[in-house]
Amino acid sequence: MNTERLDSALRQVQDTEHVIIGARVLDSAAELFHTSFGDQPAVIVADETTFKLAGQTLERRLRDAGRDVLDAHVFPAHPTLHADYEHIERLASALGQQAAVPIAVGSGTINDIAKRAAHECERRYLTVATAPSMDGYTAFGAAITRDGYKRTMTCPAPRVLLADLTILERAPADMTASGYADLLGKVTAGADWIIADALEVEPVDDVSWSIVQEPLRDATSRPAELAAGEAAAMEALIEGLVLSGLAMQVAGSSRPASGAEHQFSHLWEMEGLGADPPDGEPPLSHGFKVGLGSAAIAALYERLLARDLSSLDIRGAVSAWPSWAQVEQRVRDTHTAPGLGDAAVKECRAKYVEADALRARLELLAERWFELRDRLREQLMPAAQLRAQLRDAGCPVTPDEIGLSAQRLRATYRRAQTIRRRYTVLDLANEAGVLDQCVEELFAPNGYWAGELSPSAPDRR
């Protein structure tokens, strides 16, 4: 592990003061808690699985050190816990009656629930990671579903993160693979930020960019070793995920770590893809959806970069540009799930440009195309390589593997563009008038998805 790189990133953030990664670091939890929170009482927030895995040991360590530990808040393991706002309301209500520091013991869902509930109670918290499954441990904000719409809600990252490798190495293989997929998605997320920067929509922040992108290739370079359980590959993965979260703290948003690949994932999550699997199977993870979204977006980039947008028909693109009333109606027709249509309209309205502004943006695109194309090619990896690395890590790489039909995947390219105001390759292709053409090419008999789709396969919900 590169401690110098981690220490440098910690100096750039305000929320997280300590990140401890190593074998058996849970044994030092009581001392670190005292250093960070003094003599305040503690309360553990976990689910039944993570409480048995690490919560009970942590509770014992704290009490043996003379710490006042209140009764833990333990969510049932079944039905599957999701980061729904109703759970935050219940936890915040309970925490509001206790003067204690929450300790989140778990992975994505537990972390997001505890993070937002602690924020609503105006107190800081500590996290103990139990799986290298996502990059949200040290991230600003929490991904919460409220009124049927998944959004990033404001809340600080933990003051302290403990990542005990002896615990992480016992995590289910699919959770480790999910974390790998989430981290590999920073390749396409970075490309989307390059686009937004070049078109003067959202400038790249050099500090947060370097925190997540500089170690990315090394952290994702050993997928087969990770799947085989090699300790060095595991340590590199958790370090990459932690750095990604710290980069989001620096930026004050998820932009350094989330692009169009996450829009695919978020859309599928809001529509319930894989949320109700057959008996005995775990719900489809966020990371697995991000992984397939990354492959889909990398393939879209290949079709886009094969074009010469320096000679784009700007007049034709502007002439064909729909009015806002037409866009709004299209968005409402596209999203029929309760609450999703209204939320998507709000997001689209925030990034919609009128014809004159579109013309100016496309002129800028044409002027900067060759330089932009070079930057994107340097950032991206071939879609086939990305897919191979996902496969080596144990991730699904075809739509059928996650229960996604060909029709639904195809529609996702346009539908995902409407659910976030963040500017990505989906917006560039849409504004240039080539999105539908690129998608047609991907699904053509000789296209990227040829041979990967079963047209009759039903969607899994």
User: Which CATH number belongs to the domain containing residue 133 in this structure?
Assistant: 3.40.50.1970
Same domain assignment for residues 260 and 409:
yes
Our count of domains for the chain comes to 2
Q: What is the pLDDT of residue 148?
A: 79
In a domain, 400, yes or no: yes
Q: Report how far residue 390's alpha carbon sits from residue 402's, in angstroms, rounded to the nearest whole number.
A: 14
Q: Which of 171, 197, 216 is the last residue of a domain?
A: 171
Q: Which two tokens stand for residue 290?
A: 């991000």
148 half-sphere exposure, CB direction, 13 A CA radius: 11
**Are the C-beta atoms of 220 and 244 separated by less than 8 Å?**
no
Same domain assignment for residues 88 and 196:
no
Q: Is 412 exposed, middle or buried (0-12, 13-18, 19+ CB in 10 A)?
A: buried
In a domain, 37, yes or no: yes
Q: Which two tokens stand for residue 195?
A: 């686009």
Handedness of CA 47, 144, 202, 341 (dihedral sign): positive
Same domain assignment for residues 127 and 115:
yes
Same domain assignment for residues 382 and 284:
yes
In a domain, 224, yes or no: no
Q: Which of 171, 198, 224 is the last residue of a domain?
A: 171
Q: Is 448 exposed, middle or buried (0-12, 13-18, 19+ CB in 10 A)?
A: buried
In a domain, 438, yes or no: yes
In a domain, 243, yes or no: no
Q: Could you tell me what percentage of the chain is helix, strand and coil, using 3-state DSSP and rounding each to the nearest 5?
A: 55, 10, 35
Q: Report how far residue 428's alpha carbon sits from residue 202's, in angstroms, rounded to the nearest whole number.
A: 13
In a domain, 228, yes or no: no
Which 3 state secondary structure label does DSSP give 287? helix
Which domain covers residue 73, as residue numbers? 3-171
Question: What residues form DSSP beta bridges with 19?
Answer: 161
Residues 6+ apart with CB under 8 A from 210: none
Which 3 state secondary structure label does DSSP give 29? helix
Q: What is the pLDDT of residue 187?
A: 98
**Are the C-beta atoms of 44 and 105 separated by less than 8 Å?**
yes
**Are the C-beta atoms of 176 and 62 separated by less than 8 Å?**
no
In a domain, 111, yes or no: yes
Q: What is the pLDDT of residue 203?
A: 98
Same domain assignment for residues 162 and 293:
no
The type of residue at 395 is C
The type of residue at 137 is Y
Same domain assignment for residues 335 and 356:
yes
Q: Which two tokens stand for residue 38?
A: 């003094």
**Phi, psi values for residue 123, rounded to 5°:** -145, 155
User: Which CATH number belongs to the domain containing residue 260 in this structure?
Assistant: 1.20.1090
Q: Report how far residue 375's alpha carbon sits from residue 202's, in angstroms, rounded to the nearest whole number.
A: 16
Same domain assignment for residues 200 and 90:
no
Handedness of CA 273, 274, 275, 276 (dihedral sign): positive
In a domain, 450, yes or no: no
Task: Please give the model's pTM, rounded to 2 decimal places.
Answer: 0.93
**Phi, psi values for residue 21, rounded to 5°:** -120, 125
Q: Which two tokens stand for residue 442?
A: 């991907």
Same domain assignment for residues 269 and 396:
yes
Q: Which two tokens stand for residue 314?
A: 């700007």
- Rounded to the nearest 10°, the torsion over CA 282, 288, 290, 294 is -160
Question: What residues form DSSP beta bridges with 160?
Answer: 18, 126
Q: What is the pLDDT along the chain (461 residues), one digit of tens a residue?
A: 778 999 999 999 999 999 999 999 999 999 999 999 999 999 999 999 999 999 999 999 999 999 999 999 999 977 888 899 999 999 999 999 989 999 999 998 999 999 999 999 999 999 999 999 999 999 988 989 888 788 889 899 999 999 999 999 999 999 999 999 999 999 999 999 999 999 999 999 999 999 999 999 999 999 999 999 999 999 999 999 999 999 999 999 999 999 999 999 999 998 888 876 665 567 889 999 999 999 999 999 999 999 999 999 999 999 999 999 999 999 999 998 888 999 999 999 999 999 999 999 999 999 999 999 999 999 999 999 999 999 999 999 999 999 999 899 999 999 999 999 999 999 999 999 999 999 999 999 999 998 765 554 555 54
278: left (phi over 0), alpha (psi -120 to 50) or beta: beta
Same domain assignment for residues 261 and 343:
yes
Same domain assignment for residues 201 and 259:
yes
**Are the C-beta atoms of 98 and 68 separated by less than 8 Å?**
no
Same domain assignment for residues 336 and 424:
yes
Same domain assignment for residues 40 and 146:
yes
DSSP, res 123: -
